[in-house]
Amino acid sequence: MERKERTRRAILDAALLLCEDSTLMALSLRQVAKEVGIVPTAFYRHFESIEQLGLALVEESFVSLRAMIRDVRRRSDPQFRDLIDGSVAVLVEHVRLQERHFAFIARERFAGPPAVRDAITREIALFERELATDLARIPGTDAWSAEDLRILSNLIVNAMVATVENVLAVRPGSDAERVIAHTARTQLRMLIIGALQWDSSRSR
């Protein structure tokens, strides 16, 4: 029964690899099978369709994303500058370690099969809510309404998603990568400084 698990992994890895210059929706079961080294029909022993394969990949991708979040939290510290610098560093590092997963999510988020898109949207929304509760704990946001917290964390998540997409588009360790990291840090600072200035009751 451990052979099955090995093949399943190989299928997931092959799909992730082949998606790099394609899309789940343009990915054929036969390509995957050939890459893995099995006969096409053997695919069905593991997934009933490419779409189901995609859902498994989404789940897997967000497991590593959660690992990243834990890593960020572990380095949390009330000093904002360090918190921001550390978070961005962790982000870039994790993206590099899981390039294929992040690229997969970025691609399938809007281009994937509906079920896959929905799964990704749900996961990101979940992440956003978690961030909102984190934000509620930092000093200076006491007077914020729940709605404004949601709106701010949406803004932050959007900026970070864009950062991930930018990182994926440049060479590791390149100057371009450093510019992106610097941009991300500055943006987070702008947001935090703006946030500390914000007054929920004043925003209609």
Query: Cβ atoms within 10 A of the Cβ of 131, count?
Result: 19
The answer to whether the CB of 104 falls within 8 A of the CB of 117 is no
Residues 147-176 within binding reach of a copy of itself (CB under 8 A): 148, 151-152, 154-155, 158-159, 161-162, 165, 169
Query: Which of residues 58, 108, 131, 135 is near a copy of itself by CB under 8 A?
Result: 108
**Distances in Å between the alpha carbon of 24 and those of 12, 29, 60, 65?**
12, 10, 15, 20
Tell me the per-residue interface mask from 5 to 44 with a copy of itself, x by CB under 8 A, - otherwise: ----------------xxx-xx------------------
Residue 20 touching DNA (CB under 7 A) = no
At 130, list the tokens.
């978690």
The site partner of 7 among a copy of itself, DNA, none (C-beta below 5 to 8 Å per kind) is DNA
Residue 128 touching a copy of itself (CB under 8 A) = no
Residue appearing with tokens 């925003």: 203
Crossing angle of helices 80-97 and 175-197, in 10° steps, is: 140
Q: Which residues contact 11 (CB under 8 A, 6 or more apart)?
A: 32, 36, 43, 46, 47, 53
Q: Which of 99, 39, 98, 87 is nearest to 64 (CA)?
A: 98
The site partner of 29 among a copy of itself, DNA, none (C-beta below 5 to 8 Å per kind) is DNA
Residue 7 touching DNA (CB under 7 A) = yes
Closest approach of Cβ 167 to a copy of itself, in Å? 13
Residues that contact DNA, how many (by CB under 7 A): 21
Query: Which of residues 9, 17, 20, 37 is near DNA by CB under 7 A?
Result: 37
The site partner of 106 among DNA, a copy of itself, none (C-beta below 5 to 8 Å per kind) is a copy of itself
